[in-house]
Amino acid sequence: MFAVFRAYHEFVGVAIGTLTLLAGIAAVFCIYSACCFLFLKGNWAPFIQAISIANLLYCIVTLGLVFIPGSEISLAGKIYFLGEILVVCGLVYVELAVAKAIKKTI
């Protein structure tokens, strides 16, 4: 997101600072997930739940940024971010289902 939108931020209508913030949050979530995958050997459920809640909060923040009054986000930007929110919400659903399944096996 950061690499592509940085060059086209005017087309999307999102300030570079906002893109940097959203990309930074996504990078932290990626590092967290990678560390969990690499270093956790058991009891993944609470960690999966934590990242799913974080992803859901990210969606809420992004939704707020898209529809904040006076926002200059273009139609293309709104379509992109709404699509991203749908994908991440789908991921949240899968993460919570996996966490529930893990808890049942413990």
pLDDT value of residue 19:
85
pLDDT value of residue 29:
95
Give the three-class secondary structure for 69.
coil
pLDDT tens for the chain, 106 residues long, are 667 777 777 888 888 888 888 889 999 999 999 999 999 888 889 999 999 999 999 999 999 888 887 778 889 888 989 999 999 999 999 999 999 998 888 6
pLDDT value of residue 46:
93
Please choose, from the candidates 95, 89, 87, 101, the residue with its C-alpha nearest in 3D space to the C-alpha of residue 33.
Answer: 95
Task: Please state, in angstroms and as integers, the Cα–Cα distance from residue 95 to each residue in 13, 34, 48, 75, following that order.
Answer: 31, 14, 6, 30
pLDDT value of residue 35:
95
